Chain A
Amino acid sequence: MPDDMEEIITDFLVEAEETIDRVDPLLVGLEDSGFDQETINEIFRGMHTIKGAAGFLGFQQIVDVSHRAESILKKLRDKEIAPARPLLDVILRSFDTVRLLLKQIKAKGHEGQAGPDTARILQELDAALQAAGPLGDAGRRKGPEEVRVRAVVIEGAGGPAPESAAGCGSDRDGHASKASAPMPDKGAEAASADKKNDTIQTLRIGVEKVDHVMNLTGEVVLIRNRLLNLAGGLEQKYSSDPQMESLVEAISFLDLLTSDMQSAVMKMRMQPLKKVFGKFPRLVKDISFSLGKQVDLRISGEQTEVDKSVIENIADPMVHIIRNAIDHAIGPPDERLAGGKPAKGTISITASQKGNHIVIEVGDDGKGIDVEKVKSKAVSKGLITEAEALDLGHEAAVNLIFLPGLSTNEVATELSGRGVGMDVVKSNVSKLNGFIEVITKKGAGTMFRISLPLTLAIIHALLVEVEGSVYAIPLTLVDETMKVEGAGIRDLMDKKVLNIRGRVYPYFELAWLLEGRTGQRGGFNGQNGQDGRDHRYIIVVAVADSRFCIGVDGLLGLQEVVIKSITGSGSAAPSILGATISGDGKVILILDLGYIARNLFDKEHVNT
């Protein structure tokens, strides 16, 4: 039984949080919808349900808070009190308290003294209810009765059900005496069979179980890769053997099936972005209100599904971008009007799937980023030199905002601009193997575009060889590959560069990048290539806004690889994302190009 209880509590925590996440935006939108009664009812029902389950599980603090919030909602629904903003605000705060209580239970397994101060929110809720004006005389008359009945409920929460409940049976003796008829006939069964099929069956499964299936699938993918490899070899050797054809056929079926299985398991982990976006209306409302600004939030594509890890990690960066937009980009109404814009600013958030990427855009119609200001700030903070600032193009200058320690706002406000911020946004996005771009126009607005891979566990990789070792490079970051003559790589002010169709790219040897960059950064210079070859294979890499070339000895082909994290003795080199096992059973290291690029270019900003 204790195990059961634990599971029920886990379920409750998840379901209660989901419920709050669902009703929170409804409450935020209530004012705009003109206090739609059905919406109020839905919010009421959410709190009511949480209260009910919490009562069973003995979470008295949640019962107390949700009960009071529920009472207010009920009176709003029944039009006993007039809707007012303070009421909504205090209910929103009670949601926060319940969230905190849920978190505490999750962490400690119980409610406790150290938890959030429920006494205060209870007081606030009571005060708000008392201050709320009645809506006509009918409401006023009902008031006292409500209070009395509520006291009964609280009493009941502690011990057995109130007496009035037990007395119910005798109240309806008349009905009961008639009750002993045959059970429903079987005819109805067939009729309802169709209806039954319509109901959606949902199963709640622990994440660790799904992840386990995911890992096993990964192993199957590795074995499939090996089999494909082996079969390829055998086919050449025994091409005349009739069984060979069947083997190849069976393996290609396995190939197809594993791909299907992979995407099926991936889908199990996918959740709609609504889970994250649902929190934003409240956020925007709170921030814009506290800053005296008017902001209209438009959200689209919230049904787009992404991996669970994206859901968990994308909220913080987005919150930061939204805060910045309201705090810095969108001006106060009078300032906007003076600039010929509508008083109300707009923040639009869109999400969509583009190929095997998810693209999330957060745009505002604010001031745009002042590139010159960013540059001078970077110079004054010693992040770049003045000469470098002059050389920087628009794009590169805008991207300075992602440098640690740069904030364009002179005064750090409570909300944003504490010097930590955009760099954290960028590193969070990089952690998800994604990248972020900024498109800004002074006076017109700014858009942040975050691109994330659909899945994080299985990637398409380009296998490359350097000095006899094989490495995998995530294909999403590869722009193109080509073979160049050694002479094509030129020296430009002590740096190796490569001219591709008129564009000049920095050039690095992979071996040099991996060896902690000792010695000559260009490594190969046409005359003394390791084995005397006079050409080089080049990978053009695009990480966020930076594009550069990596030189390798050979390109071995594409493969779907399963990322296995490296654990054990010592820590893996930071430039290594993980490892995978190739078709022929060898361990291949997967390069973290995001890290390599950051390290490369951030260091250069500081050092040169």
Chain B
Amino acid sequence: MALDIKMKVLVVDDFSTMRRIVKNILKQLGFERIEEAEDGMQAYSKLTGGDFQFVVCDWNMPNMDGINLLRKVRSDPALKDMPFLMVTAEAEKHKVIEAIKAGVSNYVVKPFTAEVLKEKMEKIFEKTGPRG
């Protein structure tokens, strides 16, 4: 199934270079409506305000980290079904399980290529179906 490249994507990472890299990869896949947030707090306020259909989020961030953003999103009735891809370098089992328990849609280990990201996104949207 083809991805809907018109969907609005939020990239969350505290390191601006990382945000650019992820944005770049998303652009390679054809996405154009991409916004950024520096940490979980900012991401949450953007998510509650905008019609985002997908979140790519780093794990380690100041103020509010990825896992806490995920929990907050899942506990918000308006956002609880938001497709949420966690970017992590910590492929440790207990951490992944923590993310799965918190309801992550999928996760991707960095560094990743455009193909890997596409694959992950397709997996997520296969299950949830087209949105918006």
Contacts and interface: CB of A to CB of B under 8 A. Distances in A.
A476 interface: no
B93 to A, nearest CB: 7
Contacts of B123: 169
Contacts of A172: 100, 103-105
Interface in A176-203: 176-181, 183-185, 188-189, 191-193, 195-196, 199
A55 interface: yes
Interface string A2-30: 00110110011001100100000000000
B81 A153 contact: no
Interface string B105-125: 111111111011001000110
Given A52-B110, A53-B15, A183-B131, A4 B91 contact: no
A135 interface: no
B16 A15 contact: yes
Contact of B89 (A153, A195, A196): A153
B20 interface: yes
A558 interface: no
A8 B21 contact: yes
Contacts of B28: 1
A48 interface: yes
Interface in B1-45: 14-18, 20-21, 24, 28, 38, 42, 45
A529 B17 CA distance: 67
Interface string A33-65: 000000000100100111111011100000000
A160 B116 contact: yes
Contact of A15 (B17, B42, B93, B115): B17
B24 A4 contact: yes
A528 B130 CA distance: 96
Given A8-B21, A56-B18, A57-B21, A48 B48 contact: no
B54 to A, nearest CB: 12
A4 B25 CA distance: 11
Contacts of B98: none
Contacts of A608: none
A162 B109 contact: yes
Given A4-B24, A8-B24, A53-B18, A156 B49 contact: no
A49 B18 contact: yes
A169 B119 CA distance: 11
B106 A16 contact: no
A171 B127 CA distance: 13
Given A16-B17, A53-B18, A184-B48, A45 B62 contact: yes
A192 B113 CA distance: 34
A349 B104 CA distance: 49
Contacts of B80: 181
A157 B78 CA distance: 36
Interface of A is mostly: helix
Contacts of A183: 51, 53, 78, 131-132
A55 B89 contact: yes
A149 interface: yes
A184 B48 CA distance: 7
Given A11-B16, A55-B111, A152-B91, A192 B127 contact: no
A55 B89 CA distance: 10
B108 A165 contact: yes
A471 B130 CA distance: 74
Interface string B52-94: 0100001011100000000000000011110100000111110
B84 to A, nearest CB: 10
Contact of A192 (B45, B51, B62, B104): B45
B28 to A, nearest CB: 8
Contacts of A181: 80-81
B79 A184 contact: yes
A490 B108 CA distance: 84
A161 B81 CA distance: 25
B131 A153 contact: no
B58 to A, nearest CB: 8
Contacts of A8: 17, 20-21, 24
Contacts of A175: 103
Contacts of B49: 188-189, 191-193, 195-196
A56 to B, nearest CB: 4
A180 B106 CA distance: 16
A548 B100 CA distance: 77
Contact of A52 (B15, B42, B62, B127): B15
Given A11-B20, A15-B17, A165-B109, A180 B100 contact: no
B16 A49 contact: no
Given A179-B127, A183-B53, A196-B49, A165 B91 contact: yes
Given A179-B83, A184-B78, 18 more contacts: A8-B21, A11-B20, A15-B16, A45-B14, A48-B89, A52-B15, A53-B17, A146-B92, A161-B109, A164-B91, A169-B123, A173-B127, A176-B105, A176-B127, A183-B78, A183-B131, A191-B48, A192-B46
8 contacts: A15-B16, A156-B91, A160-B116, A165-B91, A171-B100, A172-B104, A183-B51, A184-B47
Interface of A: 1, 4-5, 7-8, 11-12, 15-16, 19, 42, 45, 48-53, 55-57, 146, 149, 152-153, 156-157, 160-162, 164-166, 168-169, 171-173, 175-181, 183-185, 188-189, 191-193, 195-196, 199, 204
Interface of B: 14-18, 20-21, 24, 28, 38, 42, 45-51, 53, 58, 60-62, 78-81, 83, 89-93, 96, 100, 103-113, 115-116, 119, 123-124, 127-129, 131-132
The 8 closest A-B pairs by CB, nearest first: A184-B78, A192-B49, A55-B111, A176-B127, A195-B45, A12-B17, A56-B111, A49-B15
